[in-house]
Structure 1
């Protein structure tokens, strides 16, 4: 990863450790001092009538529910390739009224767009003429001038590009220049060359970071849930919702901004935020389902898990989506794109994946969800009987003791 991206990791990790410390020490102390007043209004889901409407719908047709969710996710993910990591020139990332944007526009009308920042080529003195000819003949180069030479030193050639120095076209021109100068011993530098190397390093780093993050998430889920099949499904669902967010955001960018180009860093940061938030919701919902399933069976565990966590997940998702959506008002395009992608992804993950897709998959799989572990609340595998599910109202009624007073 790039130094700027590596620096973000420790900072965020330290912030998360501080948040966890506050949540485990300060917050419980405050709640203890406040007493029952801090929890008002009280949760009435245990008093009966707390079964949510989607819990009833999922229980009736779990396979139809998760298949429908997959169709929606696939439709959004099909548009993900529209989100191009080709980079955005700075004059397009800033507001059109910025003085620098106005200056670049005037410059491009009267001179080659790369005049302000030419590409620097350092060639051996013995091959100056050859290097100069190759640079001049390269596509995308407007002019090339030899500016300095001397015995034993490299010769400097300044190549003015036809395109803005921070554009995707300029990066491609740098690639052509380097390819044409192979064998001459010449070096290609300057702003456009630096940006080309930065873009290449970002894309290459993301191919390593993204799978590594998913492997870490998978390991955490396996340890938490003490099974293998469900964590694999949860990671796959998170991956699907991520691409759905990218696809939906690409459509929004095309309609609102007129283009779908973005920076590789935008994709990386959006990926990190969405995977981290998705794991949170996985833990909230599935850990509760597993705890209930140990005692009551998988079907009852899903119902109870939805009753007790769906409100929290929905509220948290709406708050987070609204928070990130506020970034869309920022004048800097990068921040607005991150806000849009994460807001859409949080809504998809919260309202579709966690409340419909995951519960429906668990209900359809039954006791196989926890493979290779068998929960004591479920019927023995292979007996052909469904998991032990108490009547709908049984969860809301207190158990009456049959012993004598």
Structure 2
């Protein structure tokens, strides 16, 4: 009954009329929401951010804006100071600058006091009593200020702000705790058992798995997927079949069949006495090859290694394992190298590049270990598909570095004007909600894969979802900023300009 309703639903939304109805409905919904919901440019920033709108000063401000509208905003004060006193020559230069500002105003500038129209004696009266200082008032456009969207600061510190304070106060404690947590699960990644058995990726109640179980219980399990051994004999007598029959894991060797075009090529079907899809059967493939090659050499056949071919599903799984391992040895260093180059180009810091990559790699191995603990020790999974770590690596490392860059770039930018601890607190607080929301949504998306019947998708979805959550709630908000606090100015090495900026801001703290 349930399948029937799903089928009816699918036919309804994908039919000739249904698909257009769905599309038009979504377009109308977007149009209605666009009209009814507040627009982004409708928000404004109140200068007194720490005051409630019902406070007396804010109420007075509202009345003033309503009853006494002004065309100009809050004045900006441009100040000249000269310890030896501002001379007539200095005033002439200031007048020229005032004229240039008035005729060619910069962005957001509404009006400038016209010093260039003042006679020199009048302008001198604008100097301070000691004659060292002169102030020029400039007014910003009020309309532009209303269009700026700046979220008002809350009077009470949120969770992200409290987390930032904790990181700055106890960076060593947080770093040690997170490293221990990640290190324990990274250890479990060495215990993972991998499989390339495609049959095991299906549910246990699938007909193919049930059929294999019945065959293995009543017949030799190797009968389902025999290994094919093909040799080039060069027309010489050999003992390949006899030697294969003596191998402990071989149950049966078929009669040799000559090739239809080359009678010197002989094919044998070998039934193993173990599950032909298992890791144990795969590990016997090199032994079979070595055994056959030695038989050919004893028969006087030269270049024996080039005259042996092994096929069948077991051999294909073995080749898949070897190819996956080879790809991992190539792809993983390439991905790390590319990320390192991009981080170095963006951050201009070898130190930051090193610990950002290091934390993500530690996170990756911890994810594998935590995923194995969950799948193996809790849900009873015997092995996970061998290519999952490579696929998960690409996703987890890319997403992890993306989140790290988002946060660390905020810290880098703020550290040029603020003391480093304050920059870290604000950087963590500023990026926390965005990254956390994105991480939860993405983890939930991958977690949907765990509801599917195909086990390989369940394993991949579980590990990747854990990886996103681990990076979102452990690595990015705790480990990375804690390391940055502990390293201090050396987090920016070898950028002398940034190190000097941190030292300067710290000295003014």
- The reply to whether TM is greater than 0.5 is yes
Say if 1:202 and 1:38 are closer, same or farther in 2 by CA, change over 3 A. Answer: farther
Say if 1:39 and 1:209 are closer, same or farther in 2 by CA, change over 3 A. Answer: farther
5+ long unaligned stretches in structure 1: 1-29, 381-385, 391-405
Structure 2 SS opposite 1:117: coil
1:36 and 2:41 equivalent? yes
Distance 1:171 1:389 in 2: 66
5+ long unaligned stretches in structure 2: 1-33, 46-148, 297-306
Worse overlay, 333-342 or 134-143: 134-143
Distance 1:127 1:52 in 2: 81
- Residue 502 of structure 2: aligned partner: 378
Q: Which has the higher strand share?
A: 2
Say if 1:46 and 1:221 are closer, same or farther in 2 by CA, change over 3 A. Answer: farther
- Residue 359 of structure 2: aligned partner: 237
1:2-33: CA deviations, max 9, x gaps?
xxxxxxxxxxxxxxxxxxxxxxxxxxxx9xx9
Worse overlay, 88-97 or 292-301: 88-97
Deviation at 1:94, TM superposition (A): 0.7
Alignment of 1:70-85 (within 5 A): 70-85=179-194
Equivalent of residue 282 in structure 1, options 404, 416, 433: 404
Worse overlay, 358-367 or 44-53: 44-53
Distance 2:277 2:502 in 1: 60
Distance 2:473 2:211 in 1: 46
Deviation at 1:47, TM superposition (A): 6.7
Equivalent of residue 288 in structure 2, options 177, 196, 199: 177
Distance 1:181 1:45 in 2: 77
Conservation of the 8 A alpha-carbon contact between 2:196 and 2:321: no
Say if 1:313 and 1:353 are closer, same or farther in 2 by CA, change over 3 A. Answer: same
- Residue 387 of structure 1: aligned partner: 506
1:145 and 2:260 equivalent? no
Say if 1:137 and 1:52 are closer, same or farther in 2 by CA, change over 3 A. Answer: same
Alignment of 1:156-167 (within 5 A): 156-167=267-278
Deviation at 1:377, TM superposition (A): 3.3
Relative contact order: is structure 1 or structure 2 higher (C-alpha 8 Å, sep ≥ 6)?
A: 1
Distance 1:152 1:237 in 2: 60
Distance 1:129 1:162 in 2: 24
Distance 2:450 2:326 in 1: 28
Distance 1:82 1:198 in 2: 21
- Residue 99 of structure 1: aligned partner: 207
Conservation of the 8 A alpha-carbon contact between 1:96 and 1:102: yes
Say if 1:143 and 1:187 are closer, same or farther in 2 by CA, change over 3 A. Answer: same
Distance 1:134 1:43 in 2: 80
